[in-house]
Structure 1
Amino acid sequence: MRSDQAEKRFLPKISVIVPIYNGEADLPGLLHCLRAQTYSSDLVSYCLVDNGSHDRTSEILKSASQDAQNFVVLSESQIQSSYAARNLGIRSTTGEILVFTDADCRPEPNWLENLIQPFEDLTVGLVAGEIKALLGNTILEQHADRQETLSQKHTLAHPFCAYGQTANLAVRDQVFEQVGLFRPYLTTGGDADFCWRALSQTPWQIRFAERAIVRHRHRSTLAALRSQWRRYGRSNRYLHELHGVDLMRDFSLQDYGYRLTRWLFKELPIAAIHGLQQKATLADLFSTPIGLICAHARTTGQRHAHLPDQARQIEWLHEPKNS
């Protein structure tokens, strides 16, 4: 016989949507984590959307769908954009709550249970779970871990408006009915754009589920790190054009010179002493130069980005009533 507490558990039907592009290396780990979820398998479906992959992604996904009835495989090959892939998933699922993550993420077993609970409050339309780092060995990975680069604490405290990253985000289905889906031709910044539309155009609120943890691998090479921060810069430019977000101030040569001089003659000696006392690591020693590399890449991305007209389009589940 069930206890009253078990009877009152909040267990809505949910759909997890994952856009995938060339995910051959990441999919086995992701699929393992999804299969390990403690949320009732009868109440969750996993919608895996192949976004035009050229590796063994489709083969791996086909095998996964054959092994489990609640794994559904779709293909978005017309538009190369994770947001277009997510939109296909949204249109194809029936969950009361739609949950988003990415192929290179590793959700903890109780991820879904913790992510869904804030929706017991009927004013909550969006919930952001936490994003933490997978263990990394390189200086760059350790630096990003110390900075909590991917943490939702940063996005939820955004000075313009709070938002959650789609690596770990849950949304009520009614929100998409009201404000539309993701902009399908946008290549970055679509999570902030969607959340800001939802929070500015409706009374829905956003909550942080800190114990709903997804782990993500930080970039381990300078090329990958620069690419990541250039994308952040492009996102800032796009959101400036869409929502009026302030642009970041460009770093001048004097700014870089001052920061490097301060690092060389003040921060580095202090960090070196701490290192000798085993109170600092190489990531601490080189924190400022790595931070300046990130800042330069982000500035470059912002400076050279321009929002294509096509990327302004919003897809709708249904035509808006005022159209």
Structure 2
Amino acid sequence: MHFSLVSTIFNEAKRLRQTIADLEAQTIKPAEIIITDAGSSDNSWEILTEWQQQSAVPIVLLKEEGCNVARGRNIAIKAAKYDLIVSTDFGCRFHPEWLQSLIRPFEEDKTLQVVGGAFSVIEKNVTSLPAKSDFILQNGYPIVLDDFFSVSSRSIAYKKQVWEEIGGYPEWLTLAADDTIFWKLIKRKKYRYALVEKPYVYWGRHKSNKAFAKEAYRYGLGDGESKINYRNFWSNLIETVLRYSMFVLLILLLSLIVLGFAPWYILFTIILLFPGLRSYKNAFKNWSQLKSTKYNFKVFLNALWQLELSRIQYLKGYIKGLSTKDPAKIAGRVALWQTLHRPESDN
């Protein structure tokens, strides 16, 4: 079965050669590979050009300075020759059977229109303190294919017609959430899809808390611009307000005790704010299950710090995205909202 592999790239030179090696080792090969570079300032383009000259698979290299991920994906897909599209993100790692896992379901069921894959991390490559903390917060990246599972476009295959009918990836976004929206529209429009439970794609995690916070901000910005995951936003906001209120009251109580006062009603109020520690409780539960020499108490403490940084940045990004005055983003958000919430008979 012929298919086109499409991807975007931006400054992935450090991980690009490993990505290429993983793709060369695939048990089945795409009929073509199309890559959109958003204007990399490292030597990503040179590495891709070298690969293009050596690859047995035709490689098409496209470039558009400053394009966002959605725009980059759309450019690559528009240039694709084949009806079946496999999408990913360069910089990831791939199991040798990754492409096969996405293509085989189409061969077994001719009515399928979409196949979604899962992704995880390579645990032995989780070496930095922040990456270990993230591993704890994510509870080891378990795969749960429930109604809340969202297929990332780092591992998905679909008929080109699906992409055309959906209207492509939403270019009105600044950066993130394009694939989340794409998946929501696939489900809303009831395309026939199958899910691959085993993760065959692995993404690299960051080496600093600052990088994780930046990532959270981008996710929040995309969610806010598109006004999706708003229940998650409100849940996180309320929990954070409760937690910080509890911290403030606890400091106040201790200060008053030192001064000789004992306003124990403040302690009662603090107890009422305990739901604000929900994420701390979950982090401790995860760490209790995973703790080892590698995932020690220092990792747990950093996980709490990383949680605070990422949570604040996500909320900050969401609020900024939600309050955008950009006409294109507002129009895109309204159109998306109407599509996702109109009666099913109208879809």
TM-score range for the pair, normalised by the shorter chain length: 0.7 to 0.9
**Number of matched residues?**
293
User: Quick one: which of 113, 122, 128 aligns to 1:125?
Assistant: 113
Does residue 304 in structure 1 map to residue 320 in structure 2? yes
Distance in 2 between residues matched to 1:81 and 1:262, nearest whole Å = 35
Identity of aligned residues (%): 20
Greater displacement, 70-79 / 80-89: 70-79
Distance in 1 between residues matched to 2:55 and 2:16, nearest whole Å = 15
Does residue 22 in structure 1 map to residue 11 in structure 2? yes
Distance in 1 between residues matched to 2:37 and 2:197, nearest whole Å = 29
The answer on whether the counterparts of 2:102 and 2:116 sit within 8 Å (CA) in structure 1 is: yes
The answer on whether the counterparts of 1:99 and 1:169 sit within 8 Å (CA) in structure 2 is: yes
Distance in 1 between residues matched to 2:303 and 2:318, nearest whole Å = 23
> What is the one-letter code of the residue matched to 2:310?
C
- Using a 3 Å threshold, how does the CA distance of structure 1 residues 44 and 195 change in structure 2: closer, same or farther? same
> What is the one-letter code of the residue matched to 1:281?
N
Residue 65 (structure 1) aligns with: 52
> What is the one-letter code of the residue matched to 2:13?
E
- Render the CA deviation track for 1:163-203: whole Å, top value 9, x for unaligned: 311121211222023222112242211111122223223x3
Distance in 2 between residues matched to 1:190 and 1:260, nearest whole Å = 31
**Which runs of 5 or more structure 1 residues have no equivalent in the other structure?**
1-11, 315-323
Distance in 1 between residues matched to 2:142 and 2:59, nearest whole Å = 28
Distance in 1 between residues matched to 2:54 and 2:73, nearest whole Å = 23
Distance in 1 between residues matched to 2:205 and 2:113, nearest whole Å = 29
User: Quick one: which of 299, 306, 315 aligns to 1:290?
Assistant: 306
> What is the one-letter code of the residue matched to 2:233?
M
Residue 248 (structure 1) aligns with: 233
The answer on whether the counterparts of 1:227 and 1:297 sit within 8 Å (CA) in structure 2 is: yes
Residue 212 (structure 2) aligns with: 225
Distance in 2 between residues matched to 1:181 and 1:116, nearest whole Å = 21
- Using a 3 Å threshold, how does the CA distance of structure 1 residues 148 and 14 change in structure 2: closer, same or farther? farther
Residue 142 (structure 1) aligns with: 132
- Using a 3 Å threshold, how does the CA distance of structure 1 residues 220 and 96 change in structure 2: closer, same or farther? same
- Residues 1-323 of structure 1 mapped to structure 2, 5 A cutoff: 12-39=1-28, 41=29, 43-77=30-64, 79-119=66-106, 120-134=108-122, 135-148=125-138, 153=143, 157-158=147-148, 163-186=150-173, 187-201=175-189, 203-240=190-227, 245-246=230-231, 248-249=233-234, 250=237, 251-256=239-244, 257=247, 281-282=296-297, 283-306=299-322, 307=324, 308-311=326-329
The answer on whether the counterparts of 1:107 and 1:214 sit within 8 Å (CA) in structure 2 is: yes
- Using a 3 Å threshold, how does the CA distance of structure 1 residues 223 and 278 change in structure 2: closer, same or farther? closer
Cα shift at 1:206: 3.1
Higher helix share: 2
Could you state the TM-score of these two structures normalised by the residue count of structure 1? 0.78
- Using a 3 Å threshold, how does the CA distance of structure 1 residues 155 and 149 change in structure 2: closer, same or farther? farther
The answer on whether the counterparts of 1:116 and 1:170 sit within 8 Å (CA) in structure 2 is: yes
Distance in 1 between residues matched to 2:224 and 2:140, nearest whole Å = 19
Could you state the TM-score of these two structures normalised by the residue count of structure 2? 0.73
- Render the CA deviation track for 1:228-266: whole Å, top value 9, x for unaligned: 1111211221231xx68546122444423358989999x
Residue 345 (structure 2) aligns with: none
**Which runs of 5 or more structure 2 residues have no equivalent in the other structure?**
248-273, 334-347
Cα shift at 1:143: 2.5
The answer on whether the counterparts of 1:123 and 1:204 sit within 8 Å (CA) in structure 2 is: no
Secondary structure of the residue aligned to 1:75 is strand
